[in-house]
Structure formats: structure tokens, C-alpha cells
Amino acid sequence: MINTGSEMLSFDYMGKIILDCGPMKHPHTGLYQYCRQLSEHLNQQQTDADQSPIQLYLPPRRRLQLPPRPYHIVEKWWHSVYQPFLRDCRVWHAPFQLGRIVPDRHRFPQTKVVLTIHDLNVLHEDEPLAIRHKRMGLTQALIDRSDALVCISAFTKNDVLAHCLVGDKPVYVIYNGVDPIPAAVTAVPDYRPTRPFLLGIGYLNAKKNFHVLVPLLEANPDLELILIGRHDDPDYVAQMQQQAQTAGVNDRLRLLGTVSETDKGWYLRNCQALVHPSLAEGFGLPLLEAMQFGKPVFLSTRTALPEIGGDAAYYFPDFIADTLQTVYRQGMIDYERYGRADSIRQHAARFTWQTTARQYLGVYASLV
């Protein structure tokens, strides 16, 4: 992790800082959790230092789950043409590389912009060229308006430097923290498996690549596979269900869709392992959520996953059925034989939102 030097800075002179929390209109997403956790820890550190809170620019109240706070700026329909809250804004934090509003440089020349880039996954997906150009063009336009860039992994930073024009703008790497999982409760989710189970977390679409795991069910008749996350691509979901039906394992493949954070915590506590064969990730938060519980995680070697999983994870070098089974079997033997749970928990503990927030405060302070 890059140390931005924020421990040595005082923030009382910075003026108003606004974090755009527009992605919070979509619950059950990684960006929702990113905005929620970052904003909470930023303002906790501001409170501890007796400094002004970071203001949050939030979705319309009908789309918002947070209770009102004095530092909330709730989006109005007329903000597309008139933004009085930007008059004394010193730093605007745009939280996503395909985001929306950023302050116009001519109308608000005093406002510096920090842009967080989570990934350039469009470069690593099988997307039509027109979609790739459109998304990269939007990201480049946001980079052009920004004064500092934050990437959530070194892999993403290298992608940005290789494929975007950043000029002399500083580019930081600040890892996300790991979301705290709700404390154990006696209640169990609506679906409670009767067998040991593997767990996958993420949108159900081709990029997540979950279909390659179906042969693991064929090779391990004592296991279920539970996948939680939005059904993002109905055709992909249908194809996966048909694959499981053909393989005769459809009774052990559970596609649960979105679940509550409490239910997710139950599945994380009780799974045999997390399996995450994704083709493209800017970070890969689910693997750290599982590692909090000392669970073994099995990952692809693509994009940022080896950087975040490090030597605490097990890796699928390819997606051939025999390879997946060999890696899974040998990984579970290694995990049990050498008691890896404690070292896995220690690895996850390196990623904290307290550290993430402190580093972002350092970036803000460097611009004013």
C-alpha cells in the first residue's frame, strides 16, 4: 500500500470536501459498500480529529437507505443545471471511473477533483469494440477533469498508465478495506444447506465465470455450490442451470440471488471454501470477506486477484475440469494439514477501512 503521508498532515484548513455517493442508489453492490464504508470511516477520523465532516452527495431520498445527517447533500432534479453546494467545495471525490457529475472547471475553478478508478475491466472482457471505446472514452474524460487519481490495486494503476493519458497527475494506489461482517446471530437464512457447501459471491454473469465450477460438483458428490449475488445476465443464468441439469447436479447448485448482509455472513461462516474464478477484477472484495473467517479461497490468476489474495489463497491456473478438481483437492489438504486459518485471517486484517480513509485524507490534503 502507498503511504500518502496523511499521518503528518492537519486537515483543518482544507475547506469543504464532498464525496459523491451516487452509487448508493444501488444496494447489494460493491460500489454501495465502498461509498458507505469509506464515508463512515472518513467522518469517524474527522470527528476524532475535531475537524469538519466530509459532506456526502447522495441519491434522491426515495432511493436512499441512510438516515439523514447534517452533512448530507441529497440530489435534486435541478442539480444538473445548478449546484450551489459546489460554490465553496475545495475537493470533489468522484468514486467511480464511469461516474456522473464532476464540477465544471470553468464555473468552479477552485474545486479539485479526485477520481477513484476501480478497474478497466472492459479491456479484459469479451465486449464489442464500440462498448470498449465508449467506456474508455468516458473514463478518459473523467481523468482529464481530475487533479489526482486513486486506483484500488497496482494492477488497475498499471492498466491506467498503459491505456489512458494521465499527464503529470499523481496516481495513487489505495486498497479498499474489508467490509465488517455482522456478528453471528441465531437466525439462519431462508435456505440452509444440508450438505457441506462451496460459496461464490458476485453478479451472475459471464465475467464472473462461475459456470466453470459445475464440474466440481460432479467430482465431489458430497458438496453443494451456493452462489449469491444479483442475476445480472438472464441468458448466462439459464445456460448455467442447463449445464447443471445436463451434468445431473442441478439439485446441488443453488443460485440464491441477492441476500442480506446477515445472511451473507452466515454463508461465509459456514462454507467449506470461497470459490472465485472471475476473469476480471479491480480488487475482489469477496475473497477478503471469506478470509476474515479463516476460510480457504480459490481464485483465478486473472487481473488483480493474485495481488489481493497473495500467498494466502489457492489459484486455478486454468479452467479445465481436472485442473480445478486437483487445485481444490490439494488446496483443502494443505489448508487442513498445515492449519492455514490463522495466517489467512492475518492476511485479511491488513486491509482496513481505517487505513483506506486515512490515505484518502492525505490525497485530499495534497490538493489544497
Domains 6-177+352-366 and 197-348 belong to one CATH topology: yes
Cα–Cα distance, 74 to 86 (Å, whole number): 13
CB proximity list for 21: less than 8 A, separation 6 or greater: 35, 36, 39, 56, 57, 58, 59, 95
- Other Cβ atoms within 10 Å of 172 Cβ, number: 20
- At the fourth CATH level, the homologous superfamily of domain 6-177+352-366 is Glycogen Phosphorylase B; (3.40.50.2000)
pLDDT tens sequence for the chain (368 residues): 344 444 434 444 456 999 999 999 888 888 999 999 999 999 999 999 999 999 999 998 777 778 889 999 999 999 988 999 999 999 999 999 988 877 998 999 999 999 999 999 999 988 889 999 999 999 999 999 999 999 999 999 999 999 999 999 999 999 999 977 766 666 789 999 999 999 999 999 999 999 999 999 999 999 999 999 999 999 999 999 999 999 999 999 999 999 998 899 999 999 999 999 999 999 999 999 999 999 999 999 999 999 999 999 999 999 999 999 999 999 999 999 999 999 999 999 999 999 999 999 999 999 98
Per the CB < 8 A criterion, the answer to whether 85 and 18 are in contact is yes
The DSSP element (H or E) to which 314 belongs, if any, is strand 314-316
Q: What is the pLDDT of residue 3?
A: 45
The DSSP element (H or E) to which 284 belongs, if any, is none
- Other Cβ atoms within 10 Å of 124 Cβ, number: 16
Edge-first strand order for the sheet with 224-228 is 253-257, 224-228, 197-201, 273-276, 297-300, 314-316
The domain locations on the chain are 6-177+352-366, 197-348
- At the fourth CATH level, the homologous superfamily of domain 197-348 is Glycogen Phosphorylase B; (3.40.50.2000)
b/e code 287-325 from CB counts within 10 Å (16+ = b): bbbbbbbbbbbbbbebbbbbbbbeebbbbbeeeeeeebe
- Other Cβ atoms within 10 Å of 44 Cβ, number: 14
Instruction: Give this prediction's pTM.
Output: 0.92
Per the CB < 8 A criterion, the answer to whether 324 and 212 are in contact is yes
The DSSP element (H or E) to which 92 belongs, if any, is strand 89-94
